[in-house]
Structure formats: C-alpha cells, structure tokens
Structure 1
Amino acid sequence: MTLPVDLFISFRSPYSYLALPKTLKMVDDYDVAVNLRPVYPLAVRVPGFFKKTNPQFARYVVLDSSRVAKHENIPFRFPRPDPIVQDMTTLDVAEHQPYIHRLTRLGAAAQLEGRSLAFTSAISRVLWDGSVQGWNEGDHLARAADAAGFDLAAMDEAIATDPDRYEQVIKGNEEAHAASGHWGVPTFVFAGEPFFGQDRIDLLIWRMESKGLTRRRA
C-alpha cells in the first residue's frame, strides 16, 4: 500500500532545498508518494516577518544551513540573485516580486501535473547548488526543467494566460499548510501530523512504518 505524504516547501528556503535529496531517497526506498506543495516564503506570506523576528534569525539560518550542507555533502550556495527582492540591511521586502512569483507558480503547475517533486528538485539545484551564476538568466532553468521532463516555455505561457489558476493552487497549499499545525518549511504532513524540518525525515519514516510503510522491492 502506497502511503501519501504532503511536503510544503518554498523556493527561498535553504532547508527546503536541503530536504530534497533525502526526500528523493525516501521515495526510492519506500512505497510512499510525496505530493510536494509549494508555498510563498514567509517574507511574502507574512508581511513584516523579518522585522518582527529576532534579528539573529537570518544570520543563524545562513550559518546553520551551510553547516548542514557540508555535513550532508550537498552542493550549496545561496541563490544569486535572491529569489526574494529584499533589502537585507533594512529588511524591507519589495512590493514587486518577479522571481518568487514565477518560481512558485511553476511549482504549482508541476503540482497540477502530479510531478512537483521531480520539477522542484531539478529547479532547486539550479538555484542552490552553486553551479551557475545568474540562475534567472539564459537557459539554466529551461535545461533543468527539460531534464526533468518539463517544457518550461509552455509552463510559463500557461501561467501567463491564467495566473489566477496557479495562485489558487498556492493559496490552497498555504491554507493546508497552516491547518497542519506548522508555519515553517519544509513541513511534511502524514495523516494530519506535521513533521517540520529537513532533519525530521527519519522520524517521519518511523511514523509511517508504524502505519504499514514498506520498502520497495529491489
């Protein structure tokens, strides 16, 4: 019996990116189906979030995510440019957000096709693994999408034609995320129970095993 799991991520979250290799391995090893559901980052989802939180928050995330990446041997560098247009001195978030809206809507489009994990894994590597300069330029995203079986130009065109359709998917994801009992990403949700963080996958597997999770046959 295949067990379903929701995974809420954002394209700006380093921990969302760092969770993906273990998530893909979990899907390879176990009879589980992960429905990846993109949401907007807290900087967009919660106006003024960074001005309200402890000023050490961002500095610690930079330190810790880099440390986790080294420990897990995951190629890692913060995206250039930042998917969120934000002045990190004043913490002001720009009203116009071309990068994160495009990325999140693309993730929603892949979700509608039932293949959001594959799409997000491919695209996130372009942003986060440090292999390219200017992830938003040239054909970096298009080539990554193509390797995962997607036509990026067709996806962009569909979104431009009916952006509200994809915004509604994102809104539904954010509502389900909030209803799960957590606000951060990555959050896995199994049978209504949230598991927050890239370091909770082993605990998630343990819980699913208690509900009949089995390994895939070799």
Structure 2
Amino acid sequence: MTLAADLYFSFRSPYSYLAIGRYRELAESRDVAITLRPVYPLAVRQPDFFERSHPNWLRYTMLDMFRVAQFHDIPFGPPRPDPIVQDIVTRQIATDQPRIRCITRLGQAAANQGKGLAFAHEAAKLIWGGAVGWNEGDHLAGAAERSGLDLAELDAEVLDRADELDAEIDQNQSALEAAGHWGVPTLVLEGEPFFGQDRIAMAIWRMEQKGLAQK
C-alpha cells in the first residue's frame, strides 16, 4: 500500500532546502507519495519576526545551516539574490516581495501538476546552492525541465491564476497549523507532524511502522 504524506516547504527556508533532496530521494525509492505544500516564509506572514527574534537567533542559524550542509555534503551558499527583499542592517521586510511570491506560486503550480517535490528540489538547489542570479536567464527553465515541467506553462498559470494560487498557498498554511505546527520543513503523515530537517529519519521510522516498502 502506498503511503501518503504532505511536505510543507518554503523556498526561503534554508532548512527546507536541506531537507527537500532527501525527501525527494525517499519518494523516488520507497512506496510513499509526498505532496509538496508550499507556504510563504515568516518574512511574508510575520514581517516583524526578525525584529522580535533574540539577537543570537540569526548568528546561530547561520552557523547551524552551514554545519548541516557540510554534515550531509549538500552544496550550500547564500542566495544571490535573496528571495526576500529585506534591509540587512535593520532587518525590516519590504512590503513588495516579487521574488518570493513568484517562486512560491510556481511551486504551487508545479504541485498542482504532481511535480511539486521535484520542482522545489531543483529550484532550491539554484537558490541555496550558490547559483548567481537564480531568478534570471534560463536557470528556472532548466529547473522546470529537470522536473518534467515547462516553465512557460507554469509562468502562464502564475499570471492567470495568481490570486487562486495564493489562496491555495494560504490553505497550505492553515492545513499545517491544523496538523499541529507552523514552521517548515514539516512533513505530515496521517495527521502526525515531523518538523525540521533533523526529523527525516524519525519520519521514515514511522512510515516503516506503517508498512513502508521499497518501490
């Protein structure tokens, strides 16, 4: 029996990036269907989050995300450009956020075609893997092609259905909170949330209890 799970994911979350490749590999090698549920990052949902966070939060997060990448041998570099428009000094979040809205809507459009996990992985590798100008040229077109998608078709859907895609993204956030968490990456398996890139092994353990098989 094929298991089913939802993966709540943000394109601006370094930990989402550090998890997505392992979840994609899991879905491709084991009998589990993982549906991508993209959400907007805290910077969009709670613009004052960074102003309210502890002064050590950013320093520790920077240390940890590079350490996790090294531990798992995952290419990692600061996004260029950042998907979020933010003043680095004041931490203030801009009202207009064209990059994160575009890539998140693309992710939802890809998910609607059953290719969300692959697209999120390929796009996240561009954003967090050190690619310069990941949102320019043919970078995203290549990510879409490697996911079995056509970027022109996704772009057309984003243009025509922006409000509907945003509503679906909002529904993803509501579903995440209903499942018992608020952050990403979170995998939800039969109503049970597994938050963080460090809970993948535990999520697999639970799946195996439920009969997870090889493909």
- Pair in the same fold by TM > 0.5: yes
CA distance in 1 between partners of 2:137 and 2:28 (Å): 32
Aligned equivalent of 1:145? 144
How far did residue 72 of structure 1 move? Answer: 0.6
Q: After superposition, what is the alpha-carbon deviation per residue over 1:51-80, rounded to whole angstroms, capped at 9, x for unaligned?
A: 112122122111101011011111110110
Aligned length: 215
How far did residue 144 of structure 1 move? Answer: 1.6
Look up the SS of the partner of 2:148 in the other structure.
coil
How far did residue 36 of structure 1 move? Answer: 0.9
Q: After superposition, what is the alpha-carbon deviation per residue over 1:150-205, rounded to whole angstroms, capped at 9, x for unaligned?
A: 11122112211221110111011010011111111100101111100111111001
The alignment's TM-score, normalised by the length of structure 2, stands at 0.96
The alignment's TM-score, normalised by the length of structure 1, stands at 0.95
Q: What is the correspondence of 1:60-79 to structure 2 with a 5 Å cutoff?
A: 60-79=60-79
Look up the SS of the partner of 2:214 in the other structure.
coil
CA distance in 1 between partners of 2:63 and 2:204 (Å): 27
Q: What is the correspondence of 1:20-169 to structure 2 with a 5 Å cutoff?
A: 20-130=20-130, 132-169=131-168
Given residue 62 of structure 1, which amino acid in structure 2 is its aligned partner? M
CA distance in 2 between partners of 1:162 and 1:27 (Å): 28
Aligned equivalent of 2:214? 215
Between 99-108 and 23-32, report the one with greater CA deviation. Answer: 23-32
Given residue 42 of structure 1, which amino acid in structure 2 is its aligned partner? L
Q: Which runs of 5+ in 2 are unaligned?
A: none
Look up the SS of the partner of 1:35 in the other structure.
strand
CA distance in 1 between partners of 2:200 and 2:189 (Å): 11
Q: After superposition, what is the alpha-carbon deviation per residue over 1:21-67, rounded to whole angstroms, capped at 9, x for unaligned?
A: 21122123321010011000011111311111212212211110101
**What's the RMSD between the two structures over aligned residues?**
1.1
Look up the SS of the partner of 1:77 in the other structure.
coil
Q: Which runs of 5+ in 1 are unaligned?
A: none
Aligned equivalent of 1:17? 17
How far did residue 212 of structure 1 move? Answer: 1.8
Look up the SS of the partner of 2:5 in the other structure.
strand
Aligned identity (percent) is 53
Give the ranges of 4+ consecutive aligned residues of structure 1 lying more than 6 Å apart after TM superposition: none
CA distance in 2 between partners of 1:212 and 1:72 (Å): 27
